[in-house]
Structure 1
Amino acid sequence: MLLKIHGRCNLKCDYCYIYEHADQSWRRRPAAMPEAVIAQTAHRLREYAAEHRPPGLEIVFHGGEPLLAGPGGLDRAATVLRDAVPVPLSFVVQTNGTLINDEFLQVFRRHGFRVGVSLDGGERATDRHRRYADGRGSFGLVRRGLDLLRAEADLYAGVLCTIDVDNDPVEVYEDLLRFSPPRLDLLLPHGTWDSPPPRRGPDQAGTPYADWLIAVFDRWYDAPSRETSIRLFESICDLLLGGRGESEVVGLARNMTVTIEPDGSIGHNDFFKITMDGGAETGLDVFTHGFGDVLAHPAWNGPAGLDALCAACRSCPAVRVCGGGLPAHRFRSGSGLDNPSVYCPDLFALVAHVRRRLVADLERLRAAKAGAAA
């Protein structure tokens, strides 16, 4: 569950899917989540946990920028939730990192928060997009926050990087490694067929995003020792070898993320906000609906797996790995999600490259084993 503890942000990143894309519902909602919404969310989770007895629940404190709620706001929200819900809760906070300080670290330690930080590389790469409204870059403050967080291995979840193909891929990767992230998430910038991402769209040939990711993959894969986890690459490898993968960008597993907005509205996964105004809305809210109602809603019970994909995707040899990409990236006015991803050529090229690398290594291992046996 994404808990939108604060609906505003202290940065003005030019690619932000919440403020800079089709959906503008943030303008109609309160800036901070009222305590009544937090208490009602906790009540609904207690109901759900008492009936279904899940082994645990993960709550991601999100925004906007969740740290704008302040150390006290995060502390109170986590306490209310933990006191109310009769199953183990794990807390994650996804932050831009500019506000991390010792007070926040105390709250993170108290509740066992895992902290993910958004950063796009070194200073030049990060400050190209991740700036304040007055044009100032954010890298210096993020670096300060990450330096504090790196000393707290139990709290540090990793770094989330949005790809800009104008940045050198290996330089970005190595700049991020300087912050010792236990995990990297490399994100394709959000876009649809109506509003394509940079260098991508019906009239733009080539595979710029695959080329960028392949350069990072080879640098990561060929390292003499494991430097970090990269969820996208590991998920593709897992899927190629018959597993499930963990990335929502690839694979055919159904995504069951639930989003609680600052006003108590219950939405689908946030990424649907790039499709249209209100694209993630369901008409549900925590004051009227329990989470049993939520999980019975068509947003989480529509076609899944191969049945959710267009004919072109279903006939593609890469489909069980690619999975059609992130659902929102398939959107086009008039046909909805019944399209290949706007990143289709890039996803195909990336999967093919990773497959070639794995097959070559497996063949070498097989030959070495046969030679040893002889």
Structure 2
Amino acid sequence: MARPFSLLVKPAGPDCNLACTYCFYLSKTSLFGRQIHRMSSAILERMVASYMATEQPVYTFGWQGGEPTMMGVEFFRNAVALQKQYGRPGAQVANGLQTNGTRISDEFAAFFAEYKFLLGVSIDGPPELHDHYRPYESGRASHSEVLKGVERLRKHGVEHNVLTVVNAHTVEHPRTLYRYLKDLGFDYHQYIPCVEYERDGSLRPYSIDGPRWGRFLCELYDEWAADPDQVSVRHLDALMQHALGGPAAMCSLASSCRQYFVVEHNGDVYPCDFFVNENMKLGNVQTHRFGEMWQSPLFRQFGRMKRMLPVACSECEYLSWCRGDCPKHRVNGADNPVAALQASTEPPVSTLCEGWKSFFSTRLPDIERQAKYRAQVQ
């Protein structure tokens, strides 16, 4: 029997109205062909029906892209109707949607509020930071349009948080990012490191390396810890939960990668959106059940990747905290991470390893103290 799992759905594939320089998903257009990618109503129904037939404590749909709002409101109305149609009596359903924020109309916002969607909005800080890598295809800046979208979400009472990409530009400004996003009224922050590779395995210009990631985390933590009115920072929350003996709240810090399925617009299923390619395809919702794909040899091997560690990780005092980091950061752009790690006599450490070590060696004692204090006052 499969453990609980969620779906990460790409209804518009890699299609997006922005042209973010660092986006790892825009290149997937070459995988699927054609210029426009849209999930059909038949595939949507098959996906929802198949997932709702599994046993889950909460049926969790994460709608991502590309830009999922390019599907239009009616697509999501249909999705919610299908969830109701195929859900068992009493079934709990959670919908989350990650958006660039530029296409949030009043109609969309009212819909999200009515059906209690949780929205994540991508903002890379103030205009001078955000617009550096997040323009429209025309080159026009997007920041002001994102804020208009946020205003509409708030007008309609939609629950939302913020996601920020830590790239070669923003990595130098952790305190600015934290203060700016907090001043905008965001109570839940998520900071995602940008680690993308050239074909030769070297880092792309907009990526960050370990030392910069370490400095970013340390300064971000110090800014957060000194704040008398702290907001939630996902990385820090996850580490504090771990400090209290709880399970990892982020897949990159977990002991297994086998946690969700990616469903593309055409029904193809993959184990992770970082590894959407032919080598890693598990099946298609039109021909395969989720339970069948969960038990497939490829998905089992994918789940074991986190344990394919070099000696340096196995002997590291911080292994229980980072679990070797995300495998994407250890395979240097390989299309088939399982094969890459299996073929290596000594698997590489994460590109961000030095940064994690720097952060843990200097801030971990305080993180553990903060976690214990939180537990006592709650």
> TM-score, normalised on structure 2?
0.84
Question: Please, which of 246, 253, 259 is the counterpart of residue 243 of structure 1?
Answer: 246
Shift in alpha-carbon separation, 1:200–1:350, aligned structure 2, 3 A: farther
Q: Distance in 2 between matches of 1:62 and 1:199?
A: 22
Supply the AA of the counterpart residue of 1:58.
T
Question: Please, which of 104, 127, 132 is the counterpart of residue 128 of structure 1?
Answer: 132
Q: Distance in 1 between matches of 2:134 and 2:257?
A: 31
- The residue number in structure 1 matching 2:73 is 71
Aligned residues: 351
Q: Distance in 2 between matches of 1:28 and 1:43?
A: 27
Shift in alpha-carbon separation, 1:29–1:36, aligned structure 2, 3 A: farther
Task: Give the drift of 1:357.
Answer: 2.3
Question: Please, which of 264, 271, 274 is the counterpart of residue 268 of structure 1?
Answer: 271
Q: Secondary structure at the match of 1:98?
A: coil
- The residue number in structure 1 matching 2:3 is none
Question: Please, which of 162, 176, 181 is the counterpart of residue 176 of structure 1?
Answer: 181
- The residue number in structure 2 matching 1:289 is 288
Which has the larger displacement, 326-335 or 262-271? 326-335
- The residue number in structure 2 matching 1:57 is 59
Task: Give the drift of 1:239.
Answer: 2.3
Q: Secondary structure at the match of 1:301?
A: helix
Determine if contact 2:214/2:356 at 8 Å carries over to the other structure: yes
- The residue number in structure 1 matching 2:323 is 323
- The residue number in structure 2 matching 1:191 is 196
Q: Distance in 1 between matches of 2:9 and 2:207?
A: 32
Shift in alpha-carbon separation, 1:113–1:347, aligned structure 2, 3 A: same
Shift in alpha-carbon separation, 1:18–1:280, aligned structure 2, 3 A: farther
Supply the AA of the counterpart residue of 1:72.
E
- The residue number in structure 2 matching 1:298 is 297
**Residue 9 (1) aligns with residue 16 (2):** yes
Question: Please, which of 250, 258, 262 is the counterpart of residue 259 of structure 1?
Answer: 262
Task: Give the drift of 1:161.
Answer: 0.3
- The residue number in structure 2 matching 1:369 is none
**Residue 358 (1) aligns with residue 374 (2):** no
Which has the larger displacement, 184-193 or 116-125? 184-193
Q: Secondary structure at the match of 1:217?
A: helix
Task: Give the drift of 1:75.
Answer: 1.3
Task: Give the drift of 1:280.
Answer: 4.3
- The residue number in structure 2 matching 1:36 is 42
**Residue 105 (1) aligns with residue 109 (2):** yes
Shift in alpha-carbon separation, 1:360–1:244, aligned structure 2, 3 A: closer
Task: Give the drift of 1:3.
Answer: 1.4
Supply the AA of the counterpart residue of 2:322.
C
- The residue number in structure 2 matching 1:46 is 52
Determine if contact 2:119/2:160 at 8 Å carries over to the other structure: yes
- The residue number in structure 2 matching 1:231 is 234
Determine if contact 1:305/1:323 at 8 Å carries over to the other structure: no
Supply the AA of the counterpart residue of 1:16.
C
Q: Distance in 2 between matches of 1:104 and 1:252?
A: 37
Q: What 5-or-longer segments of structure 1 have no aligned partner?
A: 366-374
Q: Distance in 2 between matches of 1:242 and 1:55?
A: 22
Q: Secondary structure at the match of 1:207?
A: helix
Q: Distance in 2 between matches of 1:117 and 1:183?
A: 11
- The residue number in structure 2 matching 1:341 is 350
Determine if contact 1:236/1:354 at 8 Å carries over to the other structure: no
Shift in alpha-carbon separation, 1:142–1:279, aligned structure 2, 3 A: farther
Q: Distance in 2 between matches of 1:354 and 1:251?
A: 20
Which has the larger displacement, 71-80 or 350-359? 350-359
Q: Distance in 1 between matches of 2:370 and 2:168?
A: 28
- Deviation readout 1:177-199 (Å, 9 max, x if unpaired): 12222311100003258142548
Task: Give the drift of 1:298.
Answer: 2.9
Determine if contact 1:237/1:354 at 8 Å carries over to the other structure: no
Determine if contact 1:322/1:351 at 8 Å carries over to the other structure: no
Question: Please, which of 163, 166, 180 is the counterpart of residue 160 of structure 1?
Answer: 163
- Deviation readout 1:337-368 (Å, 9 max, x if unpaired): 43211111112212223213236779999xxx
Q: Distance in 1 between matches of 2:281 and 2:142?
A: 31
Which has the larger displacement, 102-111 or 116-125? 102-111
Task: Give the drift of 1:101.
Answer: 1.6
Question: Please, which of 64, 82, 85 is the counterpart of residue 83 of structure 1?
Answer: 85
Shift in alpha-carbon separation, 1:136–1:30, aligned structure 2, 3 A: closer
How high is the sequence identity, in percent, across the aligned residues?
Answer: 24
Task: Give the drift of 1:237.
Answer: 2.6
Supply the AA of the counterpart residue of 2:293.
V
Q: Distance in 2 between matches of 1:344 and 1:121?
A: 25
Q: What 5-or-longer segments of structure 2 have no aligned partner?
A: 1-6, 342-346
- The residue number in structure 2 matching 1:19 is 26
- The residue number in structure 2 matching 1:114 is 118
